[in-house]
């Protein structure tokens, strides 16, 4: 087996999965917590990817400030003035003269107070000096190997916590010499990397120099004092030169050599200061200001707490000042703003003023503490948040306030301050339309009004690039909808590079790639992001986390503001874990919490707090309403009604008697649910910001329902297109040729005559279609559009058929087919005349709305996070929507409802179906026992009870069908292994045993092993002739399977020619082989076949079932 060289441990691994695990466990940060959790995603990166880590040396680094050096940095020669290498971490190094000037025989000269936590680096044969005699010792191995990871982790913890430490470097060590050769390069695909990945060598270079006194040649030097001397500071306050050590020895807590003076150096106009190499620490130590390394590397002799330039007479200033009184910060906000540390998690519940905290933190850093603006970056989640931050920080020194994507774009484009060398042409940004065109060129799509073949490809590309998931795994998870992704993904990226173009996600992924492969640009980014303030931290995807960490290294001073209870973009890869376990991102981080919801009335705060207690994976927090704000029973109103649309419209109209339309928002889980509300409000004369138009009627389920309605209204004027739509939904397994013949008929009687000319099986199916149509005709004549739609959904079975399509989906990023039919039924109740219902519907949905701000806002919850209105109405809070019937993560569904509730600043109204109210309503009242709701996806269609069931039990949990056949359960759609069909007498290896297949049963095979029979179940992993495969059940009818395969291949050829796409785009050979082997008879069974994803099931499912049926 080919092994892949690993740059983390120095060894080799058999797969990318092992490399990724090593990247997580061998990094200093990841190893700092022995019991840390895995990242919030599981990647089986077992494809062979050629990765390597190499050191770059000798490259000319442009745009750097030249600082003369007396000798090569990092030489471990024992000569005076030796310093550990900072290559790849800093541009600045002290001159040899400054190093010699600060060299002292007295270890107390640079030991500093315990509060600064300075350590010392020694040779392995040296005795530990007195200031560090009680400090823990870290032994560095002689070379980079697996043992180094633990040592780096210990160094990281010591630096982050300011713990004195002794580092011993082996006499024959090659580490320092290798660190001097340059920064690391990682040339693997970013998706192979763990989000918590750290360049171990870069990190070690930093940790060996940042806060360690160098005592390896018997004298002691302090890097930051030497650099300060180069910038004009003095040792004794008069002139640069040697300062003899004091004869004073510590009898006090500080342990400083000269207590009468203290400090490391003297800065003109300021006085004595400590030169600090530890984490950001703006508070004076021993009443002496602290000059941080972040300012020293920017050539600024400005201690924290003083923005005065040297020589202006400002005097000593180092107290941590509060923001100006005009900021009017609450105590919890003030504590967060003035926290005297860098890496900090700010848990900011809804309405707690996180934007104010961010802006005032910026003021505190720049205006009060004097943090260098050029080293300070704020990352906002979107443009709206960025613009608000920019507006609120007018007057501050220039700093970088960017969205995540603009940060990525700036790194890729080489914009300031990320410029290294000459910039190339600026990349062209691709729109989504451009992306679709490029994918069409690479893959080939069939145009369709009811389907979007590019959508799964866009989603898959996002999963790889933002979720950092193996393309092979993504291809498996998407069924057959993205066949060939492992090949298309690199080709797609190659095309982007050839065009010098970027799409939205490539801004992030491309930036990560550059930071991994170019040490110079990585160092430049890190210099601009010594302190990183991140808004909406809970919404970061794995790729976002990796980008932030690569930029924030080596100090990881990340000030992350967010609320794990508002993590609602799981379908994009966001996970509350990164905020919950923030120390995995920023080691040694402190935590501060905002506790007051200033937005919502007390009743809403209490209800939201109660709801969230039912989630287990969250940061424990206290949330209170604004002190002194009184609540009443009108804060939260729950309307359990028979007609949700009417109740919502009434609630809106009632509010408009006392407030403007723009002060009211109607929110719900999926967009189509708002269609009836939009139309009803417009009819009532309420100005509305539209959210749905007639394009929604092109969706599969709605198009089929309207086709049935049209056929039911005009049974003697049948249309071929409408018949084709209706014959496919619900599926009748009719062959394409029979559907074509049906389309030639113009009446029900003509369809009946056609049935008489067909074989018995096809005739029965056509007769069933006629019977359904005749029943619908009778309902339509009764004159009720809602009754007709209900009959189509329940009696004809369109609802159950569409549920089969829903169950094959991977996420709830858009409305389900069941949502569509519910919306259509609600619309039909607004216009009961079936004759012109379709015409009225299109006109009503396309009626013009009003601009944002001028009318009632209608929106999904996901689109409005971060916004607020005086009155919020949450519409359709029913089982099947809250939680959504297709959702897998019940806790995220609860968070979605919480976000909706906390958009209300004065009043919240919850509208629910009287019989199907969501269990979340009882939870927000504290009336539900605290037990887990099921979170598994459903495997059976909704029951047809009154046309209103959402496909769940009373608890919101969908249950598995009792009648699932063993044959269907025997196959595993997700396995990537080849399958093997058992042959009696064949030799098989399984579970360490070798034997022969003696018997084939319904559950598997029996293998003879000596005197024993070993039973092996279907889908088990077995080895035959040296190849590992999945044990698959033989076809129930081999001759039928053979005929079906021949017909399927002929159909595929014809379909591919008609669609102008390669045959494999329809279905590849492996998929056709499994379909013919399994011989599915329903869409549910067909969906279980590997390579049949949601889009292909919708597009080809009925035709495939028809071919199989006709081949019997």
SS3 state at 597: strand
User: Among residues 757, 718, 720, which one has the least CA distance to residue 736?
Assistant: 720
pLDDT-derived band at 129 (thresholds 50, 70, 90) equals very high
CB 537 within 8 A of CB 562: yes
- Average pLDDT of 1088-1097? 81
For residues 842 and 876, is the Cβ–Cβ distance under 8 A? Answer: no
Residue pair 75/173 in contact (Cβ under 8 Å)? The answer is no
Cα–Cα distance for residue pair 869/601, rounded to 1 Å: 12
**Across residues 122-146, what is the average pLDDT?**
87
Tokens 């609450």 correspond to 330
Nearest to 988 by CA among 1019, 1021, 1011: 1021
CA distance 383 to 401: 10
Report pLDDT for 942.
Answer: 36
640 with 913: CB under 8 angstroms? Answer: yes
Instruction: Using the predicted structure, report yes or no on whether residue 1095 has a pLDDT greater than 50.
Output: yes
Instruction: Round to whole Å and give the CA distance between 335 and 342.
Output: 14
Lowest-pLDDT range, 201-205, 300-304, 469-473?
Answer: 201-205
More confident residue, 124 or 639: 639
Determine how β-strand 664-668 pairs with β-strand 869-874: parallel
| 271 backbone dihedrals φ, ψ, rounded to 5° | 110, -155
Residues 649-684: tens digit of each pLDDT: 999 999 999 899 999 999 999 999 999 999 999 999
Whether residue 237 has pLDDT greater than 90:
no
Phi, psi for residue 239 in degrees, rounded to 5: -150, 155
What's the mean pLDDT in 1014-1036? 86
Q: How many residues does the chain have?
A: 1112
- Segment 70-82 shows an average pLDDT of 33
Percent of the residues in the chain that have a pLDDT greater than 70, as a whole number:
80
CA distance 1056 to 443: 13
Structure letter (DSSP) for residue 127: P
How buried is 917 (Cβ within 10 angstroms: 0-12 exposed, 13-18 middle, 19+ buried)?
buried
With pLDDT > 90 as the criterion, what percentage of the chain qualifies? 54
8-state DSSP, 94: -
Q: Which two tokens stand for residue 1103?
A: 């035709």
Helix boundaries (H) for 13-88? 16-25, 28-32
Please state the pTM of the whole predicted model.
0.80
Of 1102 and 724, the one with more pLDDT? 724
Alpha-carbon distance of 573 to 541, in angstroms, equals: 5
How far is residue 695's CA from residue 941's CA, in Å, rounded to a whole number? 26
Instruction: Give the pLDDT score at 493.
Output: 97
Between 681-690, 806-815, 919-928, 972-981, the lowest mean confidence (pLDDT) is in: 972-981
For residue 246, the model assigns a pLDDT of 40
pLDDT at 338 over 50: yes
pLDDT digits (tens, 9 = 90+) for 812-864: 566 788 899 999 999 999 999 999 999 999 999 999 999 988 999 999 999 99
* Most trustworthy range by pLDDT among 179-188, 623-632, 743-752, 1044-1053: 743-752
Q: How far apart are CA 763 and CA 750, in angstroms?
A: 13
Contact 572, 597 (CB under 8 A): no
Q: Which pLDDT score, from 0 to 100, does residue 50 have?
A: 27
Output Rg (C-alpha) for the chain, integer angstroms: 34
Among 505, 496, 376, 375, residue whose Cα is nearest residue 439? 496
The reported pLDDT for the residue numbered 812 is: 55
Residue 802 is predicted with a pLDDT of 84
pLDDT computed for residue 182 by the predictor? 65
Tell me the range of 391-395, 565-569, 944-948, 952-956 where mean pLDDT is highest.
565-569
Cβ neighbours of 1093 (radius 10 Å):
23
DSSP one-letter string for 706-739 = HHHHHHHH-TTS--HHHHHHHHHTTT----HHHH
Going by pLDDT thresholds of 50, 70 and 90, the confidence category of residue 1069 is confident
Contacts of 821 (CB under 8 A, 6+ apart): 701, 702, 705, 789, 793, 798, 799, 802
* Cβ atoms of 605 and 597 closer than 8 Å: yes
Give all strands (DSSP E) within 170-270, no chain letters: 184-186, 212-214, 265-267
| DSSP 3-state of 772 | helix
More confidently predicted of 960 and 281? 281
Confidence of residue 1081 (pLDDT cuts 50, 70, 90): confident
CA distances from 791 to 233, 796, 802 (A): 87, 6, 15
Straight-line distance from the first to the last Cα atom of the chain, in angstroms, rounded to the nearest whole number: 45
Q: How far is CA 678 from CA 687, 746, 841, 845, 958, in A?
A: 10, 37, 12, 8, 30
The DSSP bridge pattern shows strands 53-55 and 184-186 to be antiparallel
Looking at residue 809, what is its pLDDT?
65
Q: How many CB atoms lie under 10 A from the CB of residue 38?
A: 11
Across residues 927-956, what is the average pLDDT?
Answer: 44
Mean pLDDT, residues 234-243: 55
Q: Is the pLDDT of residue 957 over 70?
A: no
Q: 273 phi and psi, to 5 degrees?
A: -140, 155
Take residue 260 and report the two structure tokens written for it: 């009468």
Give the residue from 93, 108, 1 showing the smallest Cα distance to 47.
1
Return the minimum-mean-pLDDT range out of 4-13, 487-496, 919-928.
4-13
């Amino acid at each position: 087996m080919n092994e892949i060289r690993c740059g983390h441990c120095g060894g080799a691994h058999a797969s990318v999965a092992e490399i990724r695990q090593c990247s997580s466990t061998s990094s200093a940060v990841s190893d700092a917590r022995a019991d840390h959790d895995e990242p919030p995603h599981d990647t089986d990166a077992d494809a062979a990817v050629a990765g390597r880590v190499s050191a770059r040396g000798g490259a000319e680094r442009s745009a750097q400030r030249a600082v003369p050096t007396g000798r090569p940095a990092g030489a471990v020669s024992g000569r005076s003035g030796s310093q550990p290498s900072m290559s790849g971490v800093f541009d600045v190094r002290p001159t040899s003269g400054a190093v010699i000037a600060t060299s002292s025989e007295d270890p107390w000269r640079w030991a500093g107070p315990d509060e600064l936590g300075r350590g010392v680096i020694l040779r392995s044969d040296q005795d530990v000096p007195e200031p560090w005699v009680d400090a823990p010792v870290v032994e560095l191995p002689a070379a980079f190997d697996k043992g180094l990871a633990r040592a780096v982790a210990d160094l990281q913890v010591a630096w982050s916590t300011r713990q004195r430490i002794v580092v011993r470097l082996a006499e024959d060590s090659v580490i320092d010499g290798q660190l001097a050769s340059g920064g690391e390069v990682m040339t693997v695909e970013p998706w192979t990397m763990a989000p918590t990945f750290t360049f171990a060598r870069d990190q070690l270079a930093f940790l060996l120099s940042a806060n360690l006194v160098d005592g390896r040649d018997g004298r002691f030097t302090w890097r930051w004092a030497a650099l300060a001397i180069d910038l004009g500071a003095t040792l004794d306050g008069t002139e640069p030169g040697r300062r003899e050590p004091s004869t004073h020895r510590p009898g006090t807590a500080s342990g400083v050599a000269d207590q009468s003076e203290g400090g490391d150096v003297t800065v003109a106009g300021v006085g004595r200061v400590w030169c600090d190499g530890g984490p950001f620490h703006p508070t004076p130590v021993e009443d002496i200001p602290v000059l941080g390394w972040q300012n020293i590397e920017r050539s600024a002799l400005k201690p924290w707490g003083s923005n005065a330039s040297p020589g202006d007479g400002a005097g000593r200033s180092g107290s941590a000042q509060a923001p100006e009184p005009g900021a009017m910060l609450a105590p919890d906000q003030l504590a967060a703003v003035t926290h005297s540390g860098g890496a900090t998690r700010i848990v900011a519940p809804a309405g707690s003023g996180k934007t104010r905290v961010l802006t005032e933190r910026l003021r505190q850093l720049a205006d009060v503490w004097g943090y260098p603006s050029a080293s300070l970056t704020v990352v906002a989640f979107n443009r709206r948040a960025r613009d608000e931050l920019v507006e609120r920080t007018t007057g501050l020194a220039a700093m970088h306030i960017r969205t995540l994507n603009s940060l990525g774009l700036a790194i890729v484009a080489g914009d300031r301050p990320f410029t290294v060398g000459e910039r190339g042409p600026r990349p062209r940004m691709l729109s989504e339309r451009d992306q679709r065109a490029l994918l069409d060129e690479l893959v080939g799509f069939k145009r369709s009004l009811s389907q979007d073949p590019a959508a799964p490809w866009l989603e898959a590309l996002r999963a790889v690039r933002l979720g950092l998931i193996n393309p092979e795994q993504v291809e498996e998870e998407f069924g057959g909808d993205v066949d060939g992704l492992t090949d298309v993904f690199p080709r797609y990226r190659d095309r982007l590079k050839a065009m010098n173009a970027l799409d939205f996600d490539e801004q992030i992924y491309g930036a990560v790639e550059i930071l991994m492969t170019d040490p110079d640009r990585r160092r430049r980014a890190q210099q601009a992001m010594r302190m990183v303030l991140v808004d909406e931290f809970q919404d970061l995807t794995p790729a976002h986390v990796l980008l932030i960490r690569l930029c924030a290294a080596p100090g990881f001073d990340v000030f992350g503001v967010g609320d794990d209870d508002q993590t609602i973009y799981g379908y994009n890869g966001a996970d509350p874990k990164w905020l919950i376990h923030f120390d995995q991102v920023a080691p040694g981080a402190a935590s501060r919490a905002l506790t007051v919801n200033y937005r919502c009335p007390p009743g809403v705060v209490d209800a939201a707090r109660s709801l969230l207690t039912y989630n287990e994976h969250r940061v424990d927090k206290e949330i209170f309403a604004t002190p002194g704000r009184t609540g009443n029973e009108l804060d939260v109103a729950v309307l359990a009604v028979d007609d949700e649309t009417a109740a919502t419209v009434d609630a809106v109209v009632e509010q408009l008697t006392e407030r403007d339309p723009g002060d009211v928002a109607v929110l719900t889980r999926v967009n189509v649910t708002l269609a009836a509300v939009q139309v009803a409000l417009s009819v009532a004369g309420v100005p509305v910001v539209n959210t749905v138009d007639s394009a929604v009627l092109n969706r599969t389920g709605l198009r089929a329902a309207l086709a049935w309605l049209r056929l039911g209204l005009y049974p003697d004027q049948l249309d071929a297109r409408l018949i084709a739509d209706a014959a496919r939904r619900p599926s009748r397994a009719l062959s394409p040729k029979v559907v074509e013949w049906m389309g030639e008929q113009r009446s029900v009687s003509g369809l009946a005559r056609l049935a008489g000319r067909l074989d018995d099986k096809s005739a029965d199916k056509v007769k069933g279609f006629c019977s359904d149509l005749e029943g619908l005709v009778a309902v339509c004549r009764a004159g009720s559009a809602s009754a007709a739609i209900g009959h189509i959904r329940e009696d004809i079975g369109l609802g159950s058929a569409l549920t089969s399509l829903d169950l094959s989906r991977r996420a709830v990023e858009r409305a389900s087919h069941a949502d569509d039919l519910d919306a259509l039924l609600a619309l039909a109740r607004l216009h009961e005349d079936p004759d012109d219902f379709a015409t009225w519907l299109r006109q009503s949905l396309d009626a013009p709305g009003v601009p944002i701000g001028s009318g009632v806002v209608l929106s999904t919850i996901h689109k409005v996070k971060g916004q607020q209105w005086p009155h919020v109405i949450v519409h359709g809070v029913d089982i099947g929507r809250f939680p959504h019937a297709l959702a897998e993560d019940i806790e995220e569904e609860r968070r979605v409802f919480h976000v909706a509730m906390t958009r209300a600043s004065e009043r919240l109204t919850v509208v629910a179906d009287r019989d199907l109210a969501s269990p979340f309503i009882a939870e927000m009242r504290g009336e539900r026992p605290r037990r887990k709701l099921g979170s598994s996806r459903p495997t059976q269609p909704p029951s047809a009870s009154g046309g209103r069931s959402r496909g769940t039990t009373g608890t919101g949990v969908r249950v598995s069908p009792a009648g699932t056949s063993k044959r269907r359960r025997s196959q595993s759609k997700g396995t990537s292994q080849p399958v093997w069909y058992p042959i009696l007498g064949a030799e098989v290896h399984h579970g360490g045993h070798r034997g022969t297949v003696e018997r084939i049963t319904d559950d598997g095979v029996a293998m003879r092993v000596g005197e024993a029979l070993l039973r092996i179940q279907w889908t088990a992993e077995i080895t035959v002739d040296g190849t590992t495969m999945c044990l698959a059940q033989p076809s129930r009818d081999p001759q039928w399977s053979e005929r079906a395969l021949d017909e399927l291949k002929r159909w595929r050829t014809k379909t591919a020619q008609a669609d102008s796409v390669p045959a494999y785009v329809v279905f590849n050979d492996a998929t056709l082989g499994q379909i013919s082997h399994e011989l599915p008879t329903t869409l549910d069974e067909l969906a279980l076949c590997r390579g049949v994803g949601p889009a292909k099931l919708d597009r080809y499912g009925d035709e495939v079932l028809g071919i199989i049926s006709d081949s019997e």
